């Protein structure tokens, strides 16, 4: 057994004693009851389980929580889908993250199971583009590359991609 | 923790039925104390989901905020600690399944597990025997494989292992899941499926009338059905052909004559075998279950992941009622949260019953959840088809003169929806074309593959795509324009389908063909091919077209709905469909605005139990009952052919919408409109001196300000509701409806007046309930004076509702590796009246992607390498990615309804069909090679190049 301490959605978690083979998604689900991160394939292919790691330099990285050992995240700051919206004291959402807003306004998802992965990847992409803007003309290619591995069975991807493109175009300093 | 006694009323549970002494209750989604669910519909509708301006579309989906915030709303999300009244402790169940079916199973070997991770209980076939536990009859028997017997199919469960701790479960699963020694097998045997009879065998024969407009000489609608003898597990159509004989003999006469004429005639005949594959629904949420047997309160609580909760209520109740082990269970409480995708894979799934079984032996709440390998191994699949087709066409007129098809389907290890998928596939092969003569035989056989069910497409995808491939090839062989050939043969209004039944509604296939033909993808294809291939050396360009007309419905649809208005003017809609992601919830909320002036404030789904308030009863199989039986039972005002229906996307758009709209309509006509008229009379008209001229309901309409009637001032909903309450008019209306290719219609007494509605039961809710004859559910069941159900003979029509769809696909084939790149796709859909356009668009785009997968990527083999071996996952099974579907270039055109009164039609499934044949044809145009099997893989194309 080993101890795990980290920050999830700005909240300190741990130390929690866990078995060393527990994956991050299992830790979120079975230890913390944070089930917003979704299990899809369990082998890192579908990307439904993608979460965000906030690096020390302020950049964002994404990780597939179904194939990542929970202990890999010891000492790190992690953000999951539960952590993007602004909530009041009663835990009710009072403001959505711009990416969440773009997704709902575009009717981007249907069943919603793959939404956490798409959302986290999008938030990390926008963050990256803010630091390294790309030509507007290359936006579709940039989106395709960033989201290319994410599987959605319901939508045909169109409204996800349109939402992401619209989000980037309406976010300052992401394109040149 | 302290366990409160079971108290259904306190928990707002709704009793659905009593099966063998077990009272089945349904718990609405999010009833449980769940702090994370505050933003989820339907517990509290998210602010702003619907625009205040009812004339524009909703701002976002009803469930949107919950889904982008990661709320606990899906079946798989729930743990014991989330469930009100359950103990916090969570146990875990591991279902072990046989990876082979060609040898005798000799038992479990858990020797590889160390003592600390051994299960505390193994549930085996022995337990089933000793406790007389059985699957519900629908699923057959052999719930678990008995040691000493072979599994019936690959993936057949052999045992459920119970663990009291997650890490123990995880470690044991890791040791056992792919461990060939965990399950011991002995001698090889001939698989058991070889000794089983077919799941279904149908024959659909039609011979048109001798002259135009004359009655059919033979059709299933006119003459009925006949069935084969089963000899050595194979169908034999032994009836002697006789033009003047009985149904079978006459059928055989016309069938044989058609086959002889095709063989000996001078028509062009395309004779070809077509083959489709086994496909995994791949809903993103693998199936899961949580359950707790509260022995102290004789109650089993379950959280299921199902498209058909109503079916589960009945089947599980029956399962519990029949075992001595479970006779102490008096209550079954079923929670039905959202599901993460369905596509038919969670309709009548067997999975929850293994959860129920685990719950009976577990010492605490137990969670049974498939991982993706297990889902591939055990989940329902799409039926593979083999079709030997013959299409005859007159060379001069280009009219189809006859179609013969011999179909065999693989139904997998258990019979599920195979009989109806077989019949629907058989009837669908005609697609949009008028067939003057046809003979379609279709037989579904058992196999050792995972069970095939009602996956999206339902047989029609397989057979209609083949028909389109035949049309494309025939046009080429006959050297005629492919649109021309289609136009000549497209059904016109008034022409019957291959069952001899007239399709409902207008038939606009020619209109769709005309529009599609003018699209630049088609018109410019030759020039574009030259340009593209010059600009992209190594790539081959092609364009293909496909069209289809998908039936929707089952011939026994029975949606219910409740629409209520509160004193504050809030509108609540409750219905019996399940939200699978298609947006049913949003569309149901939207469609009531036509009658009530605004969208619903809340929508609650999967609420079938509520509808007990109509006090309905059913007696017979709706497909098998005689007309005499129906006539006799129809005299009982409580009788209906079917009480509840399963949910699917294509059915909610039309059928559920009818029920919801009728409930809203009755509420308007029986309460809001009379109340509004009363207000106008009392305050805005010289009623003492003249007869009012504004009591014509056709003159009423909603505007921003409220309800206006014939130029009078708009009345706000709240004001009308207040007056309706004073008048004691019904402000809650519940309806049950029935459709057998037409709606049942009945005459009721409401407010002392006789009135007719296309529903077969109505229950009313009044503010002053004590003045009415309320039942125990606090509803007044409206007296049904008479009812007209569609005649049972319409069962032989099989289908009469259709949604047409066409697709042009522009592709490029890489000559170096055989990959197909979709450059552009344009789809035309005639969806009828659209409730929420964004939702329809999403269905079009998603359907197209699924069709691309079926045509090019998705494949599960048969035999020992099939999905039942437990090693399949997304690393081997290619679900289409964005790059596979041409994501930026998926376009569509919605053919507008003929009139605003057109109903909404089934939508999602049909879009996946024409893209399949369009892609296969485009590949032919690019490579010069025709393919007759699916998927057409890159390897297939490379072989063709060589």
pLDDT of residue B897: 85
* Partner residue opposite A92 with nearest CB, options B39, B90, B338: B39
**C-alpha closest to that of B340 among B376, B290, B306:** B306
Residues 6+ apart with CB under 8 A from B825: B807, B808, B809, B810, B848, B885, B886, B889, B890, B891, B915, B918
Per-residue pLDDT at B153 exceeds 90: yes
Percentage of chain B exceeding pLDDT 70: 92
pLDDT of residue A90: 83
Query: What number is the ipTM of this complex?
Result: 0.98
Q: How confident is the model at residue B36 (pLDDT cuts 50, 70, 90)?
A: very low
CB B158 within 8 A of CB B144: yes
Enumerate the residues of chain A whose CB falls inside 8 A of the CB of residue B343: 153
pLDDT values of chain A reduced to their tens digit, one per residue, 176 residues = 899 999 999 999 999 999 999 999 999 999 999 999 999 999 999 999 999 999 999 999 999 999 999 999 999 999 999 999 998 888 888 899 999 999 999 999 999 999 999 999 999 999 999 999 999 999 999 999 999 999 999 999 999 999 999 999 999 999 99
The 3-state secondary structure of B698-712 reads HHEEEECCEEEECCC
Question: Looking up tokens 């790190």, which residue turns up?
Answer: A76
- Per DSSP, helices labelled H in B308-365 are 309-321, 351-361
For chain A, the average pLDDT equals 97
Q: State whether residue B339 sits within 8 Å of chain A by CB.
A: yes
Enumerate the residues of chain A whose CB falls inside 8 A of the CB of residue B580: 111
What is the DSSP pairing of strand A77-79 with strand A2-8? parallel
Question: Looking up tokens 């179909």, which residue turns up?
Answer: B407
State the burial class of residue B942 (Cβ atoms within 10 Å of its Cβ: 0-12, 13-18, 19+). middle
Asked if B35's CB is within 8 angstroms of A36's CB, the reply is: no
Exposure class string for B59-96: b at 16+ Cβ within 10 A, else e? bbbbbbbbbbbbbbbbbbbbbbebbebbbeebbbbbbb
- The residue ranges of DSSP E strands in A20-167, in sequence order, are 50-54, 60-64, 77-79, 86-87, 93-95
| Best mean pLDDT range from B5-14, B62-71, B110-119, B596-605 | B110-119
Q: State whether residue A2 sits within 8 Å of chain B by CB.
A: no
* Whole-number Å distance between alpha carbons of B838 and A155: 11
Strand order in B385-393's β-sheet? B200-207, B437-446, B400-412, B385-393, B268-275
Helices (H) and strands (E) in chain B, counts: 26, 33
* Partner residue opposite B888 with nearest CB, options A100, A140, A155: A140
pLDDT of residue B3: 42
State the burial class of residue A14 (Cβ atoms within 10 Å of its Cβ: 0-12, 13-18, 19+). middle
* Whole-number Å distance between alpha carbons of B633 and B628: 9
Tokens of A26: 């299992």
Q: How confident is the model at residue B12 (pLDDT cuts 50, 70, 90)?
A: low
**C-alpha closest to that of B229 among B240, B217, B219, B218:** B240
Enumerate the residues of chain B whose CB falls inside 8 A of the CB of residue A37: 70
In this predicted model, what pLDDT tens digit does every residue of B107-149 receive, in sequence order? 999 999 999 999 999 999 999 999 999 999 999 999 999 999 9
CB B859 within 8 A of CB B280: no
* Whole-number Å distance between alpha carbons of B828 and B838: 15
Q: How confident is the model at residue B584 (pLDDT cuts 50, 70, 90)?
A: confident
pLDDT of residue B649: 43
In this predicted model, what pLDDT tens digit does every residue of B340-382 receive, in sequence order? 999 999 999 999 999 999 999 999 999 999 999 999 999 999 9
In this predicted model, what pLDDT tens digit does every residue of B702-723 receive, in sequence order? 987 799 998 899 999 999 999 9
Q: State whether residue A39 sits within 8 Å of chain B by CB.
A: yes
Interface of B with A in 626-645 (CB under 8 A): none
CA angle B547, B550, B552 (to 5 degrees): 165
Per-residue pLDDT at B39 exceeds 60: no
Q: How confident is the model at residue B15 (pLDDT cuts 50, 70, 90)?
A: low
Tokens of A175: 């394109």
- Residue with the larger pLDDT of the pair B212 and B425: B425
DSSP B434-484: --SEEEEEEEEEE-SSPPB---TTTTHHHHHHHHHHHHHHHHHHHT--HHH
Enumerate the residues of chain A whose CB falls inside 8 A of the CB of residue B339: 111
- In degrees and rounded to multiples of 5, residue B426 shows phi and psi of -65, -40
Enumerate the residues of chain A whose CB falls inside 8 A of the CB of residue B67: 109, 112, 115
CB B904 within 8 A of CB B658: no
Q: How far is B477 from chain A (nearest CA, A)?
A: 34
Interface of B with A in 816-855 (CB under 8 A): 838-839, 841-842, 844-850
| Best mean pLDDT range from B432-441, B494-503, B825-834 | B432-441
* Whole-number Å distance between alpha carbons of A109 and B61: 9
In this predicted model, what pLDDT tens digit does every residue of B635-659 receive, in sequence order? 999 999 998 765 554 566 788 889 9
Span B571-579, average pLDDT: 80
pLDDT of residue B61: 84
Left, alpha or beta for B822 (phi > 0: left; psi -120 to 50: alpha)? Answer: beta
In this predicted model, what pLDDT tens digit does every residue of A36-45 receive, in sequence order? 999 999 999 9
First-to-last alpha carbon distance for chain A, in angstroms, is: 50
For chain B, the average pLDDT equals 91
DSSP-based helix, strand, coil % in chain B, nearest 5: 30, 25, 45
């Amino acid at each position: 057994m080993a101890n795990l301490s980290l920050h999830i959605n700005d909240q300190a978690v741990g130390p929690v004693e866990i078995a060393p083979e527990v994956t991050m998604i299992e830790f979120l689900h079975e230890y913390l009851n944070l089930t917003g991160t979704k299990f899809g394939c369990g082998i890192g292919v579908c990307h439904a389980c993608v979460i965000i790691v906030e690096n020390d330099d302020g950049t964002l990285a994404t990780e597939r929580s179904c194939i990542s050992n929970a202990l890999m995240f010891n000492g790190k700051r992690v953000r999951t889908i539960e952590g993007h919206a602004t909530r009041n004291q009663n835990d009710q959402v009072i403001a959505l993250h711009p990416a969440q807003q773009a997704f709902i306004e575009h009717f981007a998802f249907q069943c919603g199971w793959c939404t956490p992965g798409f959302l986290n990847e999008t938030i990390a992409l926008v963050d990256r583009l803010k630091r390294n803007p790309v030509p507007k003309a290359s936006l579709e290619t940039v989106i395709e590359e960033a989201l290319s591995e994410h599987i959605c069975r319901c939508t045909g991807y169109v409204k996800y991609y349109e939402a992401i493109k619209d989000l980037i175009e309406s976010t300052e300093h992401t394109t040149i | 923790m302290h366990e409160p006694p079971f108290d259904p009323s306190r928990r707002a549970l709704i009793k659905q039925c009593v099966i063998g002494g077990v009272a089945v209750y349904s718990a609405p989604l999010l009833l449980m104390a769940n702090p994370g669910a505050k933003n989820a519909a339907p517990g509290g509708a998210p602010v702003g989901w619907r625009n205040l301006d009812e004339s524009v579309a909703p701002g976002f989906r009803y469930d949107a905020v919950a889904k982008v915030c990661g709320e606990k709303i899906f079946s798989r999300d729930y743990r014991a600690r989330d469930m009100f009244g359950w103990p916090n402790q969570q146990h875990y169940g591991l279902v072990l399944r046989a990876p082979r079916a060609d040898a005798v199973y000799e038992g479990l070997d858990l020797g590889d597990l160390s003592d600390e991770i051994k299960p505390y209980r193994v549930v085996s076939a022995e337990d089933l025997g000793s406790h007389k536990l059985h699957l519900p009859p629908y699923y057959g028997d052999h719930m678990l494989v008995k040691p000493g017997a072979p599994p019936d199919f690959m993936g057949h469960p052999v045992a459920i292992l119970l663990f009291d701790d997650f890490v123990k479960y995880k470690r044991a699963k890791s040791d056992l899941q792919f461990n060939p020694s965990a399950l011991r097998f002995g001698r090889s045997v001939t698989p058991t499926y070889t000794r089983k009879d077919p799941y279904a065998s149908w024959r659909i024969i039609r011979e048109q009338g001798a002259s135009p407009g004359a009655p059919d000489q033979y059709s299933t609608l006119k003459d009925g059905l006949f069935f084969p003898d089963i000899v050595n597990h194979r169908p034999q159509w032994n009836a002697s052909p006789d033009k003047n004989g009985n149904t079978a003999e006459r059928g055989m006469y016309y069938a044989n004559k058609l086959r002889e004429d095709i063989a000996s005639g001078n028509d062009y005949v395309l004779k070809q075998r077509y083959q489709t594959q086994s496909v995994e629904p791949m809903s993103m949420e693998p199936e899961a279950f949580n359950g707790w047997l509260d022995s102290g309160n004789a109650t089993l609580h379950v959280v299921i992941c199902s498209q058909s909760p109503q079916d589960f209520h009945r089947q599980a109740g029956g399962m519990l009622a029949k075992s001595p082990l479970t006779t102490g269970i008096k209550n079954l409480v079923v929670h039905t949260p959202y599901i993460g995708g369905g596509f038919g894979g969670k309709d009548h799934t067997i999975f929850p019953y293994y959860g129920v079984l685990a719950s009976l032996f577990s010492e605490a709440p137990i969670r049974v959840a498939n991982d993706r390998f297990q889902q591939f191994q055990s989940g329902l699949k799409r039926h593979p088809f083999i079709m030997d087709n013959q299409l005859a066409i007159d060379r001069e007129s280009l009219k189809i003169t006859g179609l013969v098809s011999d179909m065999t389907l693989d139904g997998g290890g258990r019979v599920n929806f195979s009989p109806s998928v077989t019949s629907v596939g058989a009837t669908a092969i005609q697609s949009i074309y008028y067939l003057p003569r046809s003979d379609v035989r279709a037989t579904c056989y058992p196999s050792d593959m995972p069970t095939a069910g009602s996956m999206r497409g339902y047989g029609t995808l397989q057979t209609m795509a083949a028909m389109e491939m035949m049309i494309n090839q025939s046009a080429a062989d006959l050297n005629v324009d492919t649109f021309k050939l289609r136009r000549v043969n497209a059904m016109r209004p008034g022409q019957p389908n291959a069952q001899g039944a007239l399709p409902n509604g207008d038939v606009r296939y020619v209109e769709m063909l005309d529009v599609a033909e003018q699209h630049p993808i088609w018109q410019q294809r030759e020039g574009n091919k030259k340009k593209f291939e010059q600009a992209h050396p190594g790539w081959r360009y092609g364009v293909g077209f496909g069209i289809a007309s998908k039936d929707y419905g089952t011939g026994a649809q029975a949606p219910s709905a409740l629409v209520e208005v509160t004193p504050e003017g809030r509108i609540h809609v409750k219905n019996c469909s399940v939200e699978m992601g298609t947006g049913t919830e949003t569309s149901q909320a939207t469609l009531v605005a036509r009658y009530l002036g605004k969208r619903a404030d809340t929508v609650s789904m999967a609420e079938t139990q509520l509808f007990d308030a109509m006090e309905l009863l059913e007696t017979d199989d709706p497909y098998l009952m005689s007309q005499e039986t129906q006539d006799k039972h129809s005299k009982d005002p409580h009788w209906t052919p079917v009480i509840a229906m399963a949910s699917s996307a294509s059915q909610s758009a039309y059928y559920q919408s009818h029920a919801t709209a009728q409930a809203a309509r009755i509420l308007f006509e029986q309460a809001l409109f009379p109340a509004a008229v009363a207000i106008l009379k009392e305050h805005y008209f010289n009623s003492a001196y003249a007869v009012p001229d504004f009591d014509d309901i056709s003159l009423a309409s909603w505007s921003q300000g409220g309800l206006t009637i014939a130029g009078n001032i708009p009345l706000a909903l709240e004001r009308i509701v207040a007056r309706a309450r004073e008048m004691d008019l019904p402000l809650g209306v519940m309806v049950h409806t029935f459709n057998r290719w037409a709606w049942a219609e009945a005459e009721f007494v409401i407010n002392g007046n006789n009135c007719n509605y296309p529903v077969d039961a109505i229950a009313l809710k009044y503010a002053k309930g004590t003045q009415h004859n309320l039942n125990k559910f606090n509803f007044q069941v409206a007296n049904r004076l008479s009812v007209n159900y569609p005649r049972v003979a319409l069962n032989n029509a099989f289908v009469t509702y259709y949604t047409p769809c066409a697709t042009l696909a522009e592709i490029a084939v890489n000559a170096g590796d055989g990959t197909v790149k979709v450059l552009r796709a344009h789809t035309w859909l005639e969806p009828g009246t659209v409730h929420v356009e964004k939702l329809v668009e999403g269905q079009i785009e998603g359907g197209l992607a699924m069709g691309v997968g079926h045509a090019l990527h998705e494949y599960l083999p048969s035999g020992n390498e099939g999905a039942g071996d437990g090693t399949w996952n997304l690393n081997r099974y290619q679900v289409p990615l964005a790059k596979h579907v041409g994501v930026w270039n998926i376009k569509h055109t919605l053919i507008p309804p003929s009139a605003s009164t057109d109903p909404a039609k089934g939508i999602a499934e049909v879009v996946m069909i024409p893209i399949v044949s369009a892609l296969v044809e485009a590949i032919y145009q690019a490579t010069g090679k025709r393919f007759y099997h699916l998927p057409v893989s890159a390897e297939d194309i490379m072989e063709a190049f060589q």
